[in-house]
Amino acid sequence: MMEQSKEPNVMKRIYIDKVILHIGVGQAGEKLEKAKRILQEIAEQEPSERKAKRTIRDFGIHRGEKIAVMVTLRKKKALEILQKVLAARGNAVPVSSVDESGNLAFGIKEHIDIPGIKYNPEIGIFGLDVIVSLARPGYRVQRRKRCKSSVGKEHRITKEEAIEFYRSIGVNLV
């Protein structure tokens, strides 16, 4: 008889795929540039601008107008920034912030709460959204260009598995 190894299946290992920092300003111009400088200071990476998908007259937003900035972080950089932004929240995030696919999303009211970020009166204070996306080895089959395929139900990350993972890396889900 063949012995079963005591190590868990390496394909079932969960890791942080990416961390996205997002500031929605709602208008182009000076305010958007200030938000861009803040994200660049936090992430030490060039943020990209996002355009409005449709016109909303009540808010004065026109389709195609630049209204937000975001930056995507991966690997070690993602983990470092995640620890910083969680410190701004006291490492506590509500369980309701975790969706059915295991992604975590929360907001920070003031960017100056993040350790290492100082207040600049020229820029002001902005709030930002943080989105954490989890993955497993093999998720690439959904995103690759050639021979795309879907990830099976057994391989997808459940909310319970995600909560367990977040607690293992020090996130206090309340």
User: Cα separation of 90 and 85, whole Å?
Assistant: 9
Residue 64: which pLDDT band, with cuts at 50, 70 and 90?
A: confident
pLDDT in tens, 74-96: 989 999 989 888 888 888 888 88
Q: Does a structural domain hold residue 138?
A: yes
Q: Does a structural domain hold residue 131?
A: yes
Q: Does a structural domain hold residue 79?
A: yes
User: Cα separation of 144 and 150, whole Å?
Assistant: 11
Q: Does a structural domain hold residue 1?
A: no
pLDDT at 146: 93
pLDDT in tens, 92-128: 888 888 899 889 999 988 888 888 888 888 888 888 8
pLDDT at 4: 56
Q: Does a structural domain hold residue 4?
A: no
The answer on pLDDT for 132 being more than 90 is: yes
Residue 1: which pLDDT band, with cuts at 50, 70 and 90?
A: very low
Domain that holds residue 109: 10-173
pLDDT in tens, 145-167: 999 888 888 888 899 999 999 88
Q: What is the CATH number of the domain that holds 66?
A: 3.30.1440.10
Reduced to 3 states, what is the DSSP secondary structure of residue 115?
coil
58-81 in b/e form (b: 16+ CB < 10 A) is eeebeeeeebbbbbbbeeeebeeb
Strands 48-51 and 172-173 turn out to be unpaired
Q: Six-digit token pair at 42?
A: 């936090």
Strands 92-93 and 66-73 turn out to be unpaired
Q: Does a structural domain hold residue 5?
A: no
Q: Considering its fold, how many domains does the chain have in total?
A: 1
pLDDT in tens, 2-35: 455 556 888 888 999 999 999 988 887 888 888 8
Q: Does a structural domain hold residue 81?
A: yes
The answer on pLDDT for 38 being more than 60 is: yes
Q: CB-based contacts of 168: which residues, under 8 Å, 6+ apart? A: none
Q: Does a structural domain hold residue 89?
A: yes
List Cα–Cα distances, 173 to 51, 90, 131, 165, in angstroms.
33, 11, 15, 11
For the chain, give the mean pLDDT: 86
